[in-house]
Amino acid sequence: MLFFLLQKEFKQIFRNRTILAVVLVMPLIQLIVLPLAADYEVKNINLCIVDNDRSPEAQRLAQQLTASGYFRLTGYTASYRDAQALLEADRADVVLTIPPHFGRALVRDGQQTLSLAVNAINGVKAGLGAAYITTILQTYNNAIRVQWIQPGRFPAAPIVKVAPVYWYNPFLNYRVFMVPGILAVLVTMIGGFLSALNIVQEKEVGTIEQINVSPIKKHYFILGKLLPFWVLGNVVFTLGLLVARVVYGIVPMGSIPLLYGFVTLYLLAILGLGLLISTYCETQQQAMLITFFFMMIFILLGGLFTPLDSMPTWARAVAYASPVTHLIAVMRMIILKGSTAQDVLPAAAIVATFALILNVWAIVNYRKTS
């Protein structure tokens, strides 16, 4: 019985060019384009320097800033008024003001104050721009100290130097970090959308009534719907892993069976969600909108773009109540860090609970008689 249902589903899937395209092309395009675009490194920050000093020291500071590669000097003015105009015209993101007698005072007093005005419309750009400048200033600072403080005459001022080592992603390559996350989102979209839409389509066309008046058991019908999309989810995941390997050279550090095991479990949960949504909807439009609502929350709160730890407590609670969050975390753990089954056990337990609740709820709510 189940065989006939599966045979029918696969026939329908293979005849639907859109679904095939979504399953085969979407993972490739998304994995190739998105990680390149979704880069956290901000380059080409428009910098305007208001130089009220024009001393060699100020010149050197400006040189160091532009030589860093992060900044593009769009203005070198003598008055803050001009710089403000650039800021307003959106041609400057950061305005650094060098006060008059900067060089002389630096030599005489050993300290000077610079002012920094940041256009904070784009929060990420503003924050990073300010941080970059601070770092460059620090280097500049140290260079001056070494130059001016004659060794031996005074005890050297104590300097705490930090030398970070980036574990699991030594070059802080954002692609390494993004690819497993995007892969998780892909698997989620395929599983969630396709399963929800498919069942609602049977409702819309009326074929579900024909099935309902037949002796087919409820759980066979649901299983017949879940299995094909479970297979498709795994196909997409495999394709994604191949792209990660070929294009980005990302080879999972951990065990591949473990990875598939977790994805299988996860697909059960997300297919259950699709199923549940479909039992509450009458049209594909409704199903689409509701699924989209959940996907937005899942993806934005899933820790793909913003770290969970920087969220307010309530948002973190919402994030943990989404299976996507756990998949993204586990994907990164297994692929980048080589975590073992024991490490992902807590996440697996949570996802298994989701799978159980969602599927039982869906089956109870899918009534053959209304």
Partner 1 sequence: MDAICVENITKAYGKGQSPAVDGISFSVGAGELFGLIGPDGAGKTTLFRILITLLLPDAGHATVGGLDIVREYQKIRSTVGYMPGKFSLYTDLTVEENLHFFASVFNARVSDNYSLIRDLYEQIKPFKDRRAGKLSGGMKQKLALCCALIHRPTVLFLDEPTTGVDPVSRKEFWDMLGRLRSEGITILVSTPYMDEAARCDRIALIQQGHILSVDTPQGLRAGYPHPLYAVGGAPMPALLQRLAGHPDVVSSYAFGEWAHAAGTTTLGEGVLQAYLRDAGLPEAIVQATDATIEDCFMDLMKRN
The minimum distance between CB 228 and partner 1, in angstroms, equals 14
Residue 16 lies near partner 1 (rule: CB under 8 A): yes
Which residue's CB is nearer to partner 1, number 4 or number 293? Answer: 4
Question: Hey, what are 330's tokens?
Answer: 């586990």
For partner 1, the binding residue among 88, 90, 209, 282 (CB under 8 A) is 209
Angle subtended at Cα 292 by Cα 236 and Cα 222, rounded to the nearest 5 degrees: 60
Q: Phi first, then psi: give them for residue 307, nearest 5 degrees.
A: -65, 140
For partner 1, the binding residue among 44, 122, 135, 214 (CB under 8 A) is 214
Kind of pairing between the strands at 45-51 and 94-98: parallel
Return the range that interacts with partner 1 (CB under 8 A); candidates 154-162, 201-209, 262-270, 318-326.
Answer: 201-209
Residue 212 lies near partner 1 (rule: CB under 8 A): yes
For partner 1, the binding residue among 8, 43, 104, 145 (CB under 8 A) is 8
- Decide: helix, strand or coil at residue 185: helix
Residue 303 DSSP label? T
Angle subtended at Cα 290 by Cα 233 and Cα 8, rounded to the nearest 5 degrees: 45
Q: Say which amino acid occupies 41.
A: E
Distance in angstroms (rounded) separating the CA atoms of residues 57 and 61: 6
Residue 141 lies near partner 1 (rule: CB under 8 A): no
Site string for partner 1, 308-327 (x = CB under 8 A): --------------------
Q: Check if the beta carbon of residue 198 is closer than 8 Å to that of residue 225.
A: yes
Distance in angstroms (rounded) separating the CA atoms of residues 32 and 186: 13
The minimum distance between CB 236 and partner 1, in angstroms, equals 22
CB neighbours of residue 155 within 10 Å: 7
Which residue's CB is nearer to partner 1, number 97 or number 278? Answer: 278
Return the range that interacts with partner 1 (CB under 8 A); candidates 173-181, 183-191, 200-208, 338-346.
Answer: 200-208
Cβ-based burial of 263 (10 A; exposed 0-12, middle 13-18, buried ≥19): buried
For partner 1, the binding residue among 15, 81, 153, 161 (CB under 8 A) is 15
Which residue's CB is nearer to partner 1, number 208 or number 239? Answer: 208
- Contacts with partner 1, residue ranges (CB under 8 A): 1, 4, 8, 11-12, 15-16, 205-207, 209-216, 368-370
